[in-house]
Structure 1
């Protein structure tokens, strides 16, 4: 399996430091959300990973090698950036065929990928007539031509409708479940919440936090308890756990697993209508780390 190691990565433009001694790991078999406010240095960082931007100092290794030292880099790393970088007179088929030839990839990948990303029906249409969402799908197909083990994706959900976002979540999850390394730079916190295993958060080019989402989110996730006997159950649970009432017939319990809560309620003859483990909040983590109060 092929992971990515970013070590002490720095990029300066004159007196401006875009990326400041950044270090983190992107592990195989996981979707890593790469987050930060606008201008945080995310795109510059990803471009340095594949030598599109030369670092001032530090470096990146992919499977233990620098990108430039990979003998067939597009067979190891697939990257997707600007959805506007298509020749408007080329069809989707033409675009993929040209890039397949440039990368030395078999022509059979073209129809396979068009079908995989849902563009088989518009393969003969010129990309100049594509919607932003269709361009995103073609961009993703281009990144996958070499069947790479590492995917570096910059805002892949921009322009996708709700159905497209659902498809993208499932698609990225499937890639990670195959053991691939998937790094996604995104502002769509709600979407990333549903698929991110790991998180890297930066601001002004500096690392604020990196690691599994559950570890970075602080206290153990709460269990939400729906019960008509809230007051009584709260008193009992409070002997062993931290309990908060939300005023809508639910208790938020930290410090006890769902099974233990159900057992205590049954022992005291109290009713429980639902037990739900609360996922760590990516939005709350982002706001706590960055201090942002925007919808980034």
Structure 2
């Protein structure tokens, strides 16, 4: 391992359960200093992959390493990797403080770290409450507090936003961004794409256990389009698709509305003015994560 910046490297990872292949020849890298979204439909193999990275599931083939080492060879695993895989392992009679003290002792972490993570996760006021009375959102915070006991440089979080209210989601986004900005490696799976879009720098998308694409979200989404509303939409479309110069791709998306790819809004406005055509509205339209996800993971995408 080199320094404190530890990448997750998955290479040709495969997992079979009898005749079912849950993960097939999967390769990708999660870089430190960024939040990476791990996305795919239900049953795509996300949780299985994350469990193989943390040694909870043995791969049929391939490797998964953290800072160049398999999880099983890490000298102090809980000081290197923190993981949340949904559910919980809370004794209903234990308080949050009790729970964290047990896991701190198991990981060899100082007892003082318990108070630190309780405060970090906003659980200090609930520290002495029995976990049986915790809401789903509080349980999620306690799961994350447990994962952070060892102050790890790598985090793997499977659906960490489940059960969080808007305030909780905003808190989670801020926390994970701060951890990534500190040079940590953060891999997050989630079905709440609107929230993930506000958080992630990179994405890894899988489908049926295979890699679909991986890379910076800004690159995968592509350049924005321009949505135009005009009573002269038909004439505008005709003039846009005639040279000279670069010819944009133009879609008709409804009565009096066009989507223009390849030009920016000022370019469309100047062109319309030069041809004395009316424009009532111009909107720069960025590809949302949900649109990108559906485009990459469905068999057929119908466009107008």
TM-score by length of 1: 0.85
Choose which of 293, 296, 299 in structure 2 pairs with 1:289.
296
| Alignment gaps of 5+ in structure 2 | none
CA contact (8 A) 2:30 2:36 kept: yes
Choose which of 171, 176, 182 in structure 2 pairs with 1:178.
182
Deviations along 1:207-253, whole A, 9 cap, x unmatched?
22222223333x42224568899789877766653455656997644
- After superposition, the Cα gap between the structure-2 partners of 1:16 and 1:194, relative to the gap in structure 1 and judged at 3 Å, is same
Q: How does 1:34-53 map to 2 (within 5 A)?
A: 34-53=38-57
- After superposition, the Cα gap between the structure-2 partners of 1:196 and 1:227, relative to the gap in structure 1 and judged at 3 Å, is farther
Residue of structure 2 in register with 1:92 after alignment: 96
Q: Measure the CA separation in 2 of the matches of 1:148 and 1:32.
A: 16
1:198 equivalenced with 2:196 (yes/no): no
The alignment partner of 1:20 has SS state of: strand
- After superposition, the Cα gap between the structure-2 partners of 1:73 and 1:269, relative to the gap in structure 1 and judged at 3 Å, is farther
Residue 289 of structure 1 and its aligned partner are, at CA, apart by: 2.2
- After superposition, the Cα gap between the structure-2 partners of 1:137 and 1:225, relative to the gap in structure 1 and judged at 3 Å, is farther
Residue of structure 2 in register with 1:77 after alignment: 81
The alignment partner of 1:173 has SS state of: helix
Choose which of 237, 241, 244 in structure 1 pairs with 2:248.
241
Q: Measure the CA separation in 2 of the matches of 1:88 and 1:251.
A: 57
- After superposition, the Cα gap between the structure-2 partners of 1:44 and 1:260, relative to the gap in structure 1 and judged at 3 Å, is same
1:220 equivalenced with 2:220 (yes/no): no
Aligned residues: 292
The alignment partner of 2:59 has SS state of: coil
The alignment partner of 1:25 has SS state of: strand
Residue of structure 1 in register with 2:142 after alignment: 138
Task: Pick which of 126-135 and 100-109 moved more.
Answer: 100-109
Residue 181 of structure 1 and its aligned partner are, at CA, apart by: 1.2
CA contact (8 A) 2:39 2:206 kept: yes
Residue of structure 2 in register with 1:26 after alignment: 30
Q: Which structure's CA Rg is the greater one? A: 2
Task: Pick which of 171-180 and 15-24 moved more.
Answer: 171-180
Task: Pick which of 1-10 and 165-174 moved more.
Answer: 165-174
Residue 280 of structure 1 and its aligned partner are, at CA, apart by: 2.7
TM-score by length of 2: 0.83
Choose which of 95, 99, 104 in structure 1 pairs with 2:108.
104
Q: Measure the CA separation in 1 of the matches of 2:150 and 2:257.
A: 50
Residue 129 of structure 1 and its aligned partner are, at CA, apart by: 0.9
1:15 equivalenced with 2:54 (yes/no): no
Residue 267 of structure 1 and its aligned partner are, at CA, apart by: 8.4
| Alignment gaps of 5+ in structure 1 | none
Over the aligned positions, Cα root-mean-square deviation in angstroms equals: 2.9
Residue of structure 2 in register with 1:256 after alignment: 263
Task: Pick which of 135-144 and 76-85 moved more.
Answer: 76-85
